[in-house]
Amino acid sequence: MNNMIYFTRVFIYILISLAIVKGQIILQDHDHDHEVNPVYPQDSNDQYNLLHHLGGVGPYHKSTGFGLDIETPYKYEVDKVFILSRHGERFPTTRVGNELLKTYRKLQKQYKKLLYINPNFQINDSNNDNPLTFIQDSKFFLSYEKSEDLFEMITNSGSYSGVSDMFKLGREIKEKYGYLYDNSTGELPIFSAGEQRVVDSAKSLANGFFSDSEYNAKIHVIPERKRQGLNTLSSYRSCPKAFIKRYNSKLVKTFKKSYIETETDKINEINYPFFKINSKDTLNLLHYCAFELNINGNSSICNKFSREVFNEFEYTRDLELWYSKGPGYHLSELMGSIYVNASLTLMEGEEEEDSGDKGTLNNKIWISLTHDTDLIFFLTSLGLFDNQEDLNLKEIQFSRFFKTSEMVPMGGRIVLERIVVSETSMKEHKDDKDTKYLRLKINDSVIPIPNCQEGPGYSCSIKKLRELINKKSISNVDYVKVCKIKSHKPQYLSFYWDYKDNDYSLE
């Protein structure tokens, strides 16, 4: 009897032990599966993505945003959309390109002297941290004989090709809002500022939109000339006496670029005694990193620099644009007001048939392309930066909302969606059936407008937004008077309404 009890206890002990071991194995397997495919990843590497730190000079990327759903809120629908986009990825402008050439030619001159002395000379990069190795590379785009001819142009090759990115944008607009387009009502109008890179971007976007159907777009080119007055997509051209291109530049220069100086010292130490550069050269090389990505899709020097220097580079760009084009510039709100007023008027209006000289309002998709400056003007006038203090000039303000990398990268886009109660939900939302809301998206992220977030999906009623804008002091400023626009030039923006009856360099 005692033996039976003993063996029974041993048997139970073995079963319990096996169960525990099996449970541990199951738990271990479960933990392993969780590590391989977690429901919510515990890693977040977005902060290390260099595209988020190129100060609007580099390729397009989606904004970090606030984690809000980009899909249309439940029981609502988008019945009209206004899109304002920056042109696609490009080569450097003439001014910046010439600065890059100065640094390149300076280093090339030193390099050729070294080769003359020693034909087998190689630049040391044993630690993979020497950005000057690029001058040995014949693929460096500034080494081409006529590289200056490429300045200002949209890029057409590489992973971040401006042509490809704008084609992709057109296709995405079609996928998202194609149901709003009715080809029986005529061509889809696309409005473009006059610079060639913007026009080329508009063409690529149109090709993307109609990539799966018969092409039916008309591109209306609005010249970037003083003669356009307020009928423009480049308001700074219309206000040369009030808009100083390098406004506040002396103020911005007070910011001490300590990491750029440190990086310069490091590069000189690595290359001593063969090469010597200054802080301006380092800044040019950081610009080159961004443009090399735009042009080739990869870069031979981006990973040679520290992350700290890119943060400082980004902040320097933010300071320049905050104080010369953004909220820190006293006329920025005024410059953007013509775009904001036009977009709100379009979004307020009901669809109707052609009405004589007023053109047509039956279009439900409004697409315009211009420059980063004008997108910043627009967002400033819309109130996105209201109540924010000027950026710190003594140290990097890491907590800032104003980040050009997030707002206006190459190909950056602003989308205003008009949201209304869906037809199937009218009975449930009787009190809301006549209310129209606007939801702002910047680079594929929903960005709520300050002081106006009471609508579905943190949207803002058009009526309230109009009231907020009308209360601003800028609403009482005479744009024509401030910008000294002569009476024979357009006194207001009209091309959205009269494009069918006027020649806007139609293409």
The predicted-structure confidence for 203-215, as pLDDT tens digits, reads as follows 999 999 999 888 9
d(CA 148, CA 156): 16
Query: What letter represents residue 122's amino acid?
Result: Q
- CA 455-460-462 angle, to 5 degrees, is 120
Consecutive H or E run containing 97:
helix 94-117
Q: Of 3, 21, 70, which is closest to residue 417 (Cα–Cα)?
A: 70
Q: Helix 332-348 vs helix 372-382: angle between axes, to the nearest 10 degrees? A: 70
Give the C-alpha separation, 45 to 476, whole Å. Answer: 46
pLDDT confidence tier of residue 15, bands split at 50, 70 and 90: low
Average pLDDT over residues 145-163: 90
Cα→Cα distances 133→101, 130, 282, 308, 447, Å: 16, 6, 14, 21, 41
Residue 51: pLDDT over 50: yes
Confidence at residue 137, expressed as pLDDT on a 0 to 100 scale: 79
Domain extent listing, the chain: 47-91+161-243+331-498, 94-151+251-311
Among 81, 69, 74, CA closest to 177: 81
Confidence of residue 19 (pLDDT cuts 50, 70, 90): low
Domain 47-91+161-243+331-498 has CATH 3.40.50.1240: yes
Q: Give pLDDT, residue 361.
A: 63
Lowest-pLDDT range, 87-96, 178-187, 390-399, 461-470? 178-187
Chain segment 295-329, per-residue pLDDT in tens: 999 998 999 999 999 999 999 999 999 999 999 99
What percentage of the chain has pLDDT greater than the value 70? Answer: 86
pLDDT at residue number 185: 73
Number of Cα atoms under 13 Å in the Cβ half of residue 503: 1
Rounded Cα–Cα distance for residues 416 and 361 (Å): 17
Report the mean per-residue pLDDT for the chain: 89
> Which of 467, 407, 468, 471 has its CA nearest to residue 440?
407
Name the residues annotated as catalytic.
Answer: 87, 372
pLDDT of 43 over the 60 cut: yes
- The 10s digit of each residue's pLDDT in 337-376 is 999 999 999 999 875 544 444 445 679 999 999 999 999 9
pLDDT higher than threshold 80 for residue 3: no
Q: Which pLDDT band holds residue 42 (cuts at 50, 70, 90)?
A: confident
Residue 86 structure tokens? 């920056």
| Alpha-carbon gap, residue 367 to 498, rounded angstroms | 15
Tell me the pLDDT tens digit for each residue of 435-487.
999 999 999 999 999 999 999 999 999 999 999 999 987 778 888 999 989 99
pLDDT band for position 123 (50/70/90)? very high
Q: Which residue has the higher pLDDT, 276 or 429?
A: 276
- Do 404 and 55 meet the contact criterion of CB atoms below 8 Å apart? yes
Q: With 60 as the cut, is the pLDDT of residue 16 above it?
A: no
